[in-house]
A = this chain, B = another copy of it.
Amino acid sequence: MASWHLSIDGLRPGDSRREESLLTLADGMLGWRGNYEEGTAADYPQTRGCYLNGFYEREKIKYGEIAYGYAENSQTMLSVTDGQAIRLICNGAPLLFGETDVISSRRSLNLQTGVLDRTTSYRIPGGGVLTLRSQRLVSMARPGVAAIHWQWTADTACQLEIAPFLNGDVTNRIVQDDPRVGSGLQGRALSRPEIRWTGDVPCLTQHTEKSQLSLACAMACRISSDASAQKHQDDWQAGLRYMLRVQPGETVSLHKFCAYAWGDIQDAARHAENVIAQAADAAQAGYPRLLREQEAAFSTFWDSVGLEIEGDDDLFVGMRFNLFHLFQSAGRDGRTNVCAKGLTGEGYEGHYFWDTETYMLPFFDSTQPDIARKLLEYRYGILPLARKRSREMGHPTGALYPWRTIDGYEASAYYPAGTAQYHINADIAMAIRRYVHCTGDIRFLDEMGAEMLCEISRLYLDLGFYDPSHGGAFCINSVTGPDEYNALVNNNTYTNLMAAESMLYAAEVLHGMARRDPDAYGRLAQKIGLSSDEPDHWRQAAESIYVPREENSPLIWQDDAFQSRVPWPLSTIPKENFPLLLHYHPLVIYRHMVCKQADLVLAMLLLPHRFTEEEKKAAFDFYDRVTTHDSSLSHAAFSALASRIGNLKKAYAYFRDSAILDVEDTHGNTADGLHMANMAGSWFCLVYGFGGLDTEGDMLRFHPILPPPLKSYAFRLNWKGSVVEVRVNGNGPACRLVSGPDITILAGDRLLSLSTARTV
């Protein structure tokens, strides 16, 4: 029986920052890393972190050498007011993890219910043992609310001081020389808090200077003893203090409820009122009620996912872990998205990338369509800034989405692996297509999607050109594809084909809209000055798109000059020199025939109809030899393509790499946060790869495989409101309609009509 728990025992300073990432709790808005409430020794490695999705500070980016059109400001998701903190003083001495003698400690993340449990036994000053049991949750039912349940007992009488508090004295971790973390922000970013009390409820309000955002955090507590609460505060903190005498064997418990809100600085007072009310509400409801709400939310989630795997329990737990964190990390309010590391760490500065559209949305589309819509609404919200960016980048028309951003402005400080990644536009367009296809939410197109698709297509039409030196084909030059080890290339196949599909889809959507709702079409055309021949131009460019191919061979090149790169057999590179980007100058990497991830492989998954079986096989064989997988996004794509071409061994091996990447920290940087895109990628491996998910027109289709040593697996998909369960074992696939309207699907070439509760 595979476990629902991720458990960690003991005291392992070397792993502590990694463990904090793994044990993060979040609700899409608020994230708490797995820190110790009572604190740690000063030299115990930790990144103490509470994060609010979308809450950031900016700084003017300093460039060694400036050029026109560079991103102006960095954006850094901030470590905000610490609500985890509970000071614990026993017989006059603070108990600190890593400093006080720890007899035993065990933490366990309950993936089924969304809570984090801990039991720590401290040897207390003066002799004896104090055992602390903690459980906490970040509430899915109450976004921005978190609760801690503390309970302690000692084998000897002792004097305790328990001080739950809010700490505004927080900074981000300062990192240098690792571009995957970023160093936009150095030092303090949050103002000294304004502290106000409402009865026993303290509330801290802090703000940023440049992004002009404010956040409020309030705390309410309940204790099971009759100890009275003393208020305490200083410049940066506010909280309560309970002094109590504990008898041997006596158990006392404390509940701490925190609520967070953030927004525009001028709404600071309103945020404060809200969080005070929310914290009080939560305290009023009580911890057991919050726990039941949490269990219910996760139960619903796991039902929608329907994940089962037999034959490799580690992998099953890894998958549960991945989907758990995906669910926790996604913004749900339309103004936020999913950070590359979710709310689990400070890697990539909390930026949103194409990771969401290309890796994560397939999962959300199929299991949490409401979240999927909200994530796309975020992109619509920043469309005006994408239009502005397009002008800055020399285009008289269209929109260019930022490569990395929080607030909608481009924040990439290295354009060859940043702004040059023009494929971001197509990634968004294809995400719209997939979402609408999957949910049937045509209204989204009318309200937002069509407008985005038009501006995206305009950009590509202006970016590319009909190149006489390529037989008049439509070519796109000087871009970087998803594979950042080959930068500023011409005719990156991924970018070309994704751009072409985006333009075709935009034309198709406009055509449908004009027939379906001429008024809506007319309003859109007027709003964006759309002329009637534009879709024809997009279609023409798309139909003339260029793809670089090896002559007399099914091999497709990743870009125009890939075949001319200097060979660099991976076996000749010392193991300690991976990832290459930390050990070689970009010029060295760009010159060589080597991939961080093979974006052609990805293109074959996203646009399977564009390639023959032979081309897929040739590509897999070739790019498998030259890819380092230095990007965590790589394994999943290789696994899924291996599945498609029937290479079960590789399909399983790469799947495993993807499924356990963070649990086993195979990339060595889980300490800075979990790899969200990879986590979603492992679901993609399972469903699109093993399950062979595909569509035939508007119909779902599966071509499942069962790579050894797996005995069976199952998953559920929401297809236009019908939730279908697919179960694959040695007897082949079995499909069942879990809920929603009756539906007909294809298992291979076999038509299956599914009704509720009837298995076929």
Complex formed: what's the CA distance from A490 to B560 in Å? 11
Beyond A394-B588, A591-B478, is A64–B63 a contact (Cβ under 8 Å)? yes
- For A564, the chain B residues whose CB sits under 8 A away are 467, 469-470, 475, 477, 490, 560
A585 touches B477 (CB 8 A): no
- How many Å lie between the Cα of A654 and that of B216 in the bound state? 66
Question: Does A120 sit at the interface, judged by CB under 8 A?
Answer: no
Which of B393, B469, B475, B591 is A585 in contact with, Cβ under 8 Å?
A: B393
- Least Cβ distance of A424 to chain B in Å? 14
A395's nearest neighbour on chain B, judged by CB, is B588
Most chain-B CB neighbours within 10 Å: which of A64, A66, A419, A566?
A64
Verify A590–B478 contact, CB threshold 8 A. Answer: yes
Selecting from A20-28, A121-129, A408-416, A744-752, the interface stretch reads: A408-416
CB–CB A478/B415 < 8 A: no
Selecting from A7-15, A30-38, A176-184, A666-674, the interface stretch reads A176-184
Contact B560 A413 (CB under 8 A): no
CB <8 Å contact, A67 and B413: no
Q: Is the CB of B182 within 8 A of A67?
A: no
Cβ of A74 within 8 Å of any chain B Cβ, yes or no, is yes
**Residues in B whose Cβ lies below 8 Å from that of A488:** 416, 487-488, 587, 590
Among residues 290 to 335 in chain A, which have CB atoms less than 8 Å away from a CB atom of chain B? none
- Given A177-B66, A566-B465 in contact, is the A419-B585 Cβ separation under 8 Å? yes
Interface of chain A residues 408 through 450 with chain B (CB within 8 A): 412-416, 418-420
CB of B65 within 8 A of CB of A584, answer no
Given contacts A477-B566, A587-B393, contact A413 B64 (CB under 8 A): yes
Bound: A567/B467 CA distance, A: 9
B69 near A74 with CB under 8 A, answer no
Is A561 part of the contact surface with B, judged by Cβ < 8 Å? Answer: yes
Partner of A65, one of B413, B588, B591: B413
Within the complex, the shortest CB–CB distance from A93 to chain B, in Å, comes to: 42
What is the distance, in angstroms, from A347's C-beta to the closest C-beta of chain B? 13
Taking a contact as CB atoms under 8 Å apart, the answer to whether A585 and B182 are in contact is no
Contact B65 A412 (CB under 8 A): yes
A345 to B413 CA separation, bound complex (whole angstroms): 30
Q: Are B587 and A420 in contact (CB under 8 A)?
A: yes
CB distance from A249 to the nearest CB of B (A): 56
In this complex, what residue of B is CB-closest to A582?
B68
A69 touches B585 (CB 8 A): yes
Q: Given B469, B478, B567, B585, which contacts A563 in the complex, CB threshold below 8 Å? A: B469
Fill in one digit per residue for A174-202: 1 if any B CB lies within 8 Å of its CB, else 0. 00111100111000000000000000000
What are the residues of chain B within 8 A of A412 when measuring CB–CB? 65
Does the CB pair B394–A584 fall under 8 Å? Answer: yes
* Contact between A584 and B68, CB atoms less than 8 A apart: yes
Q: By the criterion CB–CB under 8 Å, are A585 and B392 in contact?
A: yes
Contact residues in B for A477 (Cβ distance below 8 Å): 561, 564-566, 591
Q: A560-B561, A561-B560, A564-B490 are in contact. Are A68 and B469 (CB under 8 A)?
A: no
| Contacts A478-B590, A487-B488, A591-B478; A415 near B585 (Cβ below 8 A) | yes
Of B61, B65, B582, the contact of A179 (CB 8 Å cutoff):
B65
Chain B residue numbers with a CB within 8 Å of A414 are 63-65, 67
Report the Cα distance A412→B565, complex, angstroms.
Answer: 25
Q: Which of B467, B487, B584 contacts A69 (CB 8 A)?
A: B584
Task: For chain A, residues 453 to 471, give those with C-beta under 8 angstroms from any C-beta of chain B.
Answer: 463, 465, 467, 469-470
Instruction: Looking at the assembled complex, report how far the CB atom of A552 sits from the nearest CB atom of chain B, in whole angstroms.
Output: 14
- Residues of chain B lying within 8 A (CB to CB) of residue A478: 587, 590-591
Q: A63–B393 contact, CB under 8 A?
A: no
Q: Which of A472-500 contact B (CB under 8 A)?
A: 475, 477-479, 487-488, 490
When distances are taken between beta carbons in the complex, the residues of chain B under 8 Å from A490 are 561, 564
Cβ contact within 8 Å between B66 and A585: no
Give the contacting residue for A182; candidates B65, B415, B591; CB below 8 A. B65
A176 to B64: give the CA distance in the assembly, Å: 11
Cα separation A477 to B698 with both chains bound (whole Å): 47
Q: Are B585 and A394 in contact (CB under 8 A)?
A: yes
Known pairs A61-B64, A62-B64, A565-B477; A587 contacts B179 (CB<8 A): no
Most buried by B among A412, A467, A475, A478: A478
The answer to whether the Cβ of A71 comes within 8 Å of any Cβ in the partner chain is: yes
Known: A465-B566, A560-B564. A585 touches B67 (CB 8 A): yes
Interface of chain A residues 542 through 580 with chain B (CB within 8 A):
560-561, 563-567
Does A286 count as interface, using CB distance less than 8 angstroms? Answer: no
Q: Determine whether the beta carbon of B67 is less than 8 Å from that of A415.
A: no
Of all chain B residues, the one with the shortest Cβ separation from A562 is B469
From 40 to 70 in chain A, residues with beta carbon under 8 angstroms from any chain B beta carbon are 61-70
Q: Is the CB of B588 within 8 A of A393?
A: yes
Question: A581 interface residue, CB < 8 Å from B?
Answer: yes
The yes or no answer to A625 lying at the interface (CB within 8 A) is no
Is B581 a contact of A68 with CB atoms below 8 Å?
yes
Q: Please encode chain A, from 601 to 618, with 1 for each CB lying within 8 Å of some chain B CB and 0 for all others.
A: 000000000000000000
A540 to chain B, nearest CB (A): 17
**Most chain-B CB neighbours within 10 Å: which of A71, A176, A465?**
A465
Contact residues in B for A179 (Cβ distance below 8 Å): 65-67
In Å, the complex CA distance between A48 and B80 comes to 48
Please, how many angstroms separate the alpha-carbon atoms of A487 and B416 in the complex? 11
Q: Are A64 and B74 in contact (CB under 8 A)?
A: yes
A270 CB within 8 Å of chain B: no
Contact among B66, B392, B465 with A183 in the assembled complex (CB-CB below 8 Å): B66
- By a CB distance below 8 angstroms, the chain B residues around A583 are 68
Cα separation A235 to B415 with both chains bound (whole Å):
46
Given A477-B564, A478-B591, A586 contacting B394 (CB threshold 8 A): no
Residues of B within 8 A of A67 (CB): 179, 414, 581, 585-586
Which residues of chain B are near A420, meaning CB under 8 Å? Answer: 587
Tell me whether B64 and A587 are in contact (CB under 8 A): no
Interface string of A215-226 (1 = CB under 8 A from B): 000000000000
What would be 29 A-B contacts, judged by CB atoms less than 8 Å apart? A61-B64, A62-B64, A63-B413, A64-B413, A65-B182, A65-B413, A65-B414, A65-B418, A67-B586, A68-B584, A69-B584, A69-B585, A392-B585, A393-B585, A393-B588, A415-B587, A416-B416, A465-B566, A465-B567, A469-B563, A469-B564, A475-B564, A477-B561, A477-B564, A477-B566, A487-B488, A488-B587, A490-B561, A560-B564
6 interchain residue pairs of minimum CB distance = A64-B413, A69-B585, A65-B414, A394-B588, A62-B62, A478-B591
